[in-house]
Amino acid sequence: MVLCFFFVSLQHIMKHLHPLYSDNPRPERFTYPFCYEPHPLCQQAAKEVQTYIGSHGEILEDANRGKMFGVLVVEHEGALAFLAAYSGLLAGRNDWEYFVPPVYDAQQPDGYFKTKEREISQTSAIKHQTSKQMSQELQTWLFHQYQLLNARGETKDLVDIWQAYYDRPKLRQKYPLPPGGTGDCCAPKLLQYAYQQGVRPVCMAEFWWGQPTKEELRQHLNYYPACRGKCKPVLTWMLQGLDVDPDPELQGFQKMELPIVYEDQWLLVVNKPSGMLSTPGRIEDYSVETVMRQRYPDAVIAHRLDMGTSGLLIVAKSMDSYRPLQEQFVKHQVKKKYVAMLQPLPQPLPREGSKGTISLSLRPDPMNRPRQVVDMEHGKRAITDYEFLSDLPLPREGSGEGFLVALYPQTGRTHQLRIHCAHPDGLGCPIVGDELYGTKGERLMLHAAEIWFTHPVTGEKMHLASPVPF
């Protein structure tokens, strides 16, 4: 009986464990899942998964609608292998043999969860309040079934993990329980199965398959970090006991030159390089504002550019000049022209000189910050005028081609230009180098090229320009 049980267990492991033959060296530490470059071993494993997806019709049909997949390279009996997973369900199922099983299977028709769901559905027709309470109780019960391991062999359920992560009273009040679907992403599934089977995690990566959706502006076969909203608390627990790469965002930024385009006794305009923060971040203090304050202690940034965006940025030397500048921004009296290089996609682009306006309301994605999402009902109004500057692809540094477009934002929402370019209801073409909504590159090809404003003291009409660096 013992030998028979061992054979069945080994068969179960091998069903999900796929050999990986490679000359690539193994990484020194495990992947930091929220900011990483995919290791060559993960890239090799991902290609095998992609081949599998492409050759299985039912899986392919569902994946083409847009789905996140993940790979975990592991060491098993001294040899390399990999595990594969998908987020949520795939074609309505969570029992595909090629992929690891869910942490907890709530889809069994005769299981407690599905039985209770049917009972609640019948109750909802009678008493709405009773049904709501029963649904909340069932969801909490489900979270307790997710018994998640870490590399030390310790176990905690999802509720305990969540509440330990958000242990401060204000945070606990804001995030009392995990959102639905927590624990069903690729990374928790992969690590859970590896720990259960006693194989050692080596490195991990996640990629998107299929078309971008209106909710998920992701590009086919691009690699993406694990989501922070659902997975940060969970993976913080599950990675304990592994030697993990440090968070690159905590390593500090390279010091850069900050050219000054215009300066007088009240303000200055700088040409911010790509890769530099406008104001101090949550962890990193080095920014345009801190550099300026070394020269002018009362300096204040009048507006902001994303870290990856280069170009013109106004700096007030005191609050006396800052306040009237801010008033101009609030009243939309400042005009800005950005130039972006768009990633060529299969659909035809408008010809040179084509103009138009994009109006897509935006709001933050609380489960995946700093990403923003289009929400026409609850989002804030965001409007961008555009004009195509080229109708033929232009060569760009490194490799590939791109199309130039001028963007004139009427509003100033976070990631407005990036989403208005990438979204299917916008231009449908991500900006080159946009790792959040397009494809990661050497830099984000977005430049604040011109700005028009009224001088806050002299009343002079100001127009400044900066050459496009790409």
List residues with catalytic annotation.
306
If you write DSSP's letter for every residue of 174-213 in order, what string do you get? H-SSPPTTTT-SHHHHHHHHHHHHTPEEEEEEEEEES---
Cβ contacts of residue 151 below 8 Å, gap of 6+? 195, 201, 238, 239, 240, 241, 242
For residues 12, 13, 16, 20, the Cα torsion angle rounded to the nearest 10 degrees is -150
Collapse the DSSP code of 259 into the 3-class scheme (helix H, G, I; strand E, B; otherwise coil) and give the result: coil
69 torsion bin: left (phi>0), alpha (psi -120 to 50), beta (else)? beta
The rounded distance, in Å, linking the Cα atoms of 334 and 332 is: 6
**Strands annotated E in 41-181:** 67-76, 79-86, 147-149, 155-157
Cβ contacts of residue 371 below 8 Å, gap of 6+? 364, 365, 415, 436, 437
If you write DSSP's letter for every residue of 384-448 in order, what string do you get? EEEEES-SSPEE-SSS-EEEEEEEEESS--TTHHHHHHHSTTTTS-PBTB-TTTS-B-SS--EEE
Cα diameter, the chain: 92
Q: H-helix or E-strand containing 310? A: strand 310-316
Helix axis angle, 158-165 relative to 228-238, nearest 10°? 100
Q: H-helix or E-strand containing 142? A: helix 128-145
Residue with tokens 């009392």: 176
| Alpha-carbon radius of gyration of the chain | 25
Given a contact cutoff of 8 angstroms between Cβ atoms, the answer to whether 158 and 234 are in contact is yes
The rounded distance, in Å, linking the Cα atoms of 33 and 47 is: 19
Token pair recorded at residue 111: 């299981």
CA distances from 234 to 249, 254, 459 (A): 20, 31, 55
Beta-carbon neighbour count of residue 130 at 10 Å?
12
The rounded distance, in Å, linking the Cα atoms of 301 and 354 is: 34
Cβ contacts of residue 383 below 8 Å, gap of 6+? 357, 358, 359, 409, 410, 411
The two counts, helices (H) then strands (E), for the chain are 12, 20
